[in-house]
């Protein structure tokens, strides 16, 4: 342990100083004037002659402080050396590790580097490029714990009536084999019933990817049963059903277009959007002429549109294709565009957009797990060969790549409680504060 020459100035920091220098032997001293050096100067590395103390070099870090590291001079050959400064490098690494941790968490929550820069200007100013560099290096260094043996499961409920009694039929289906894992009939479907059902029928020690509809609050039950081993996906087809139900049966072309733009977030509905966009101007004109004219026009226009949609469906069925799933990047973009225009939509659409934003991690979980199902419709395999090209495209996107790794790390529980706060790291610099 380094010998501390305590002075009035550094006396209050003796504990901090002894922590900082704990890895050094008793050959070292920290002088009353704040120089870290060997008590007995070393032998000259060139000629072997005993060197002598010869002042110090100052290590500095903006806003944090400065430390003086002893220099030695050889009286025989004139060689000059400097004491090891690992303690200083370690202090800085601790501090910037926490800064990087804060920035990485902000990235994890989709905060832009511009905004992170402005937040950091309140804590410890760093420019955008430096932050980006720190975060990307940190992410590269982190290892995603390998998930093996993940079980992909669909969960759903039915509410049949047995005579006059309401019954609840809970079903678990294996996504890969499409086989029923368990199916039981209950008189209630409260949280305890579901919990017992899951515990009896699934391996709770194994990582699980489970798809449900958006209705009920399963998340708490899943967390209780599986802890952090569960990835919960909301069925995207169910989301689409809810979107359709947000609109009245008799929509205007304008409303119909908003509906299809919502459906377009996760699935490619460009043909329908294009079709409707062409009618928008005509609808405005027809509305101006007279309500009677408009009424007959909209009836006809909607009939033709429904036929167009039906024909697209039939074509897909003939070709044995499903609606094309969007990649993550496009889904996020489409959602962001709608969200930006949110104020111009009516209340039910605004609410739906807010809900999608709130549930975003559960709607998009499947993007981040290979071969994971996005819907609770195990008959239709949306994650077939066509999606593999989407994955490749994603990987070319640096930002997406970063988000994928971050999400994987988050799911793996890498981002737990921090071991040290920024303030704790900062306090270690107090003995070195540049008060001049």
* Smallest gap from residue 48 Cβ to Zn ion (A): 7
* Smallest gap from residue 43 Cβ to Zn ion (A): 8
Q: Report the alpha-carbon distance of residue 26 to residue 378 in Å, rounded.
A: 69
Structure-token pair, residue 111? 């905060």
Stretch that binds Zn ion, among 43-51, 97-105, 379-387, 403-411 (CB under 5 A): 43-51
**Number of residues binding to Zn ion, judged by CB under 5 A:** 8
What's the burial of 315, exposed, middle or buried (CB within 10 Å: 0-12/13-18/19+)? exposed
Residue choice 19, 39, 40, 46 for contact with Zn ion (CB under 5 A): 46
* Smallest gap from residue 78 Cβ to Zn ion (A): 7
* Smallest gap from residue 6 Cβ to Zn ion (A): 33
Stretch that binds Zn ion, among 67-75, 336-344, 351-359, 403-411 (CB under 5 A): 67-75
Phi, psi of 176 (to 5 degrees): -80, -50
Stretch that binds Zn ion, among 12-20, 41-49, 225-233, 315-323 (CB under 5 A): 41-49
Residue found by looking up tokens 């949110």 in the block: 342
Question: 35-38 and 151-158: which strand pairing?
Answer: unpaired
Radius of gyration of the chain (CA): 32
73 or 108: CB nearest Zn ion:
73
Structure-token pair, residue 80? 């000059």
Alpha helices in 341-397 (DSSP H): 347-364, 385-396
* Mask for 79-118, x = binds Zn ion (CB under 5 A): x---------------------------------------
* Smallest gap from residue 130 Cβ to Zn ion (A): 41
Stretch that binds Zn ion, among 69-77, 95-103, 277-285, 390-398 (CB under 5 A): 69-77
Q: Return the ∠ at Cα 414 (arms to 129 and 224), rounded to 5°.
A: 140
* Smallest gap from residue 40 Cβ to Zn ion (A): 16
Q: Does 9 help bind Zn ion (rule: CB under 5 A)?
A: no
Question: 208-212 and 230-234: which strand pairing?
Answer: parallel
Residue found by looking up tokens 């289906």 in the block: 173
Contact between residue 222 and residue 299 where contact means Cβ atoms under 8 Å apart? no
Q: Does 47 help bind Zn ion (rule: CB under 5 A)?
A: yes
41 or 373: CB nearest Zn ion:
41
* Smallest gap from residue 55 Cβ to Zn ion (A): 17
* Smallest gap from residue 82 Cβ to Zn ion (A): 15
Q: Does 43 help bind Zn ion (rule: CB under 5 A)?
A: no
Contact between residue 66 and residue 91 where contact means Cβ atoms under 8 Å apart? no
Q: Does 72 help bind Zn ion (rule: CB under 5 A)?
A: no
Contact between residue 76 and residue 55 where contact means Cβ atoms under 8 Å apart? no
46 or 129: CB nearest Zn ion:
46
44 or 134: CB nearest Zn ion:
44
47 or 289: CB nearest Zn ion:
47
Residue choice 64, 74, 135, 257 for contact with Zn ion (CB under 5 A): 74
β-sheet bridge partners, residue 35: 68
Q: Does 44 help bind Zn ion (rule: CB under 5 A)?
A: yes
Q: Report the alpha-carbon distance of residue 264 to residue 273 in Å, rounded.
A: 8
55 or 418: CB nearest Zn ion:
55
Residue choice 11, 49, 215, 427 for contact with Zn ion (CB under 5 A): 49
Question: 151-158 and 161-162: which strand pairing?
Answer: unpaired
Q: Report the alpha-carbon distance of residue 209 to residue 226 in Å, rounded.
A: 10
Q: Report the alpha-carbon distance of residue 37 to residue 40 in Å, rounded.
A: 9
Q: Return the ∠ at Cα 154 (arms to 148 and 156), rounded to 5°.
A: 150
Q: Does 76 help bind Zn ion (rule: CB under 5 A)?
A: yes
43 or 314: CB nearest Zn ion:
43
Q: Does 313 help bind Zn ion (rule: CB under 5 A)?
A: no
* Smallest gap from residue 81 Cβ to Zn ion (A): 10
At residue 173, the 3 state secondary structure works out as: strand
Which residues sit at the interface with Zn ion, rule CB under 5 A? 44, 46-47, 49, 74, 76-77, 79
């Amino acid at each position: 342990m380094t010998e501390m020459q305590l002075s009035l100035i550094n006396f209050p920091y003796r504990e901090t100083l002894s922590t900082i220098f704990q890895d050094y032997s008793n050959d070292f001293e920290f002088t009353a004037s704040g120089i870290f050096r060997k008590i007995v100067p070393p032998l000259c590395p060139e000629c072997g002659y005993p060197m002598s103390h010869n002042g110090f070099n100052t290590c500095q870090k903006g806003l944090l402080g400065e430390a003086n590291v002893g220099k030695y001079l050889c009286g025989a050959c004139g060689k000059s050396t400097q004491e090891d400064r690992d303690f200083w490098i370690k202090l800085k690494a601790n501090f910037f590790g926490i800064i990087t941790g804060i920035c990485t968490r902000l990235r994890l929550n989709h905060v832009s580097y511009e905004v992170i820069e402005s937040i950091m200007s309140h804590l410890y100013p760093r420019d955008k490029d430096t932050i980006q560099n720190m975060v990307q290096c940190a992410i590269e260094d982190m290892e995603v714990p390998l998930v093996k043996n993940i079980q992909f499961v669909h969960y759903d409920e039915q509410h049949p009536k047995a005579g006059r009694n309401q019954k609840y039929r809970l079903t678990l289906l294996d996504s890969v084999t499409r086989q029923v894992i368990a199916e039981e009939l209950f008189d209630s479907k409260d949280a305890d019933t579901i919990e017992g059902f899951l515990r009896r029928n699934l391996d709770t020690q194994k990582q699980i990817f489970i798809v449900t509809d958006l209705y009920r609050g399963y998340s708490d039950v899943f967390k209780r049963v599986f802890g952090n081993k569960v990835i919960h996906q909301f069925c995207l087809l169910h989301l689409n059903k809810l979107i359709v139900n947000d609109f009245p049966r008799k929509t205007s072309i304008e409303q119909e277009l908003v509906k299809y733009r919502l459906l377009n977030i996760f699935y490619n509905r460009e043909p329908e959007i294009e079709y409707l966009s062409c009618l928008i101007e005509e609808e405005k004109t027809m509305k101006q002429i007279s309500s009677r004219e408009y009424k007959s026009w909209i009836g006809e226009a909607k009939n033709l549109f429904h036929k167009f949609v039906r024909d697209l469906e039939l074509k897909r069925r003939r070709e044995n294709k499903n609606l094309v799933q969007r990649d993550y990047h496009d889904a996020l973009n489409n959602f962001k565009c709608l969200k930006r225009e949110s104020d111009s939509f009516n209340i039910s659409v605004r609410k739906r957009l807010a809900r999608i934003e709130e549930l975003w991690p559960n709607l998009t979980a499947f993007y981040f797990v290979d071969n994971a199902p996005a819907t609770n419709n195990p008959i239709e395999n949306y994650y077939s060969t066509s999606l593999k090209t989407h994955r490749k495209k994603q990987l070319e996107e640096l930002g997406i790549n970063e988000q994928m790794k971050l999400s994987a790390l988050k799911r793996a529980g890498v981002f737990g409680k921090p071991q040290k706060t920024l303030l704790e790291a900062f306090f270690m610099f107090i003995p070195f504060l540049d008060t001049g």
